[in-house]
Amino acid sequence: MKNTLEYKGYRAGIEFDPEDHILFGHLLDIDDIVSFHGESVADFERSFHESVDDYIAACEQLGQLPDKPASGRLMLRIAPEIHAAALKSATAAGQSLNKWAEAVLRRATHTDTSLG
C-alpha cells in the first residue's frame, strides 16, 4: 500500500483523523510547512494540488524559490585526483563509490537516516 501522492515533484503524506473523519497531509521532504485536508480521496487530492499550486505562486510573489524535494541524485564535477582518491578509498572500504560518498556526506552533514 502506498500512503503518498505526487504532484509537480512534491509528495504528500496521507493520514486519517478518525475524530473529524477527514484525510489530512503535508508536503514531505521540504522545510516549508504546507498542509491540507479533504473529506474524501478526491477532495484530498484536489486540496493537495491546490496547496502545491498556491505554495509555488506565493513563493513567486515573495520573490523566493520554492523549496524542492531532493531527487537523491547528485552530479559532481571534481578534480580528477580527488575522484581517483575517492575511488581508492571506496575500494579499500569494500564499497561502491556511491555508497562510500553517501557515508562521507552523511558524516559531513550530521545526518543519520536510520533514526527516522
Same domain, 56 and 84: no
User: Which portions of the chain are predicted below pLDDT 50?
Assistant: 115-116
107: in domain: yes
Same domain, 8 and 54: yes
20: in domain: yes
67: in domain: no
38: in domain: yes
Angle at 53 between CA 58 and CA 63, to 5 degrees: 25
Convert the pLDDT of each residue in 68-85 to its tens digit.
888 788 888 999 899 999
First to last CA, the chain: 19
Nearest to 9 by CA among 62, 64, 72, 63: 72
71: in domain: no
pTM for the whole thing?
0.66
pLDDT at 116: 42
State the residue range of the domain holding 106.
80-115
Number of domains, the chain: 2
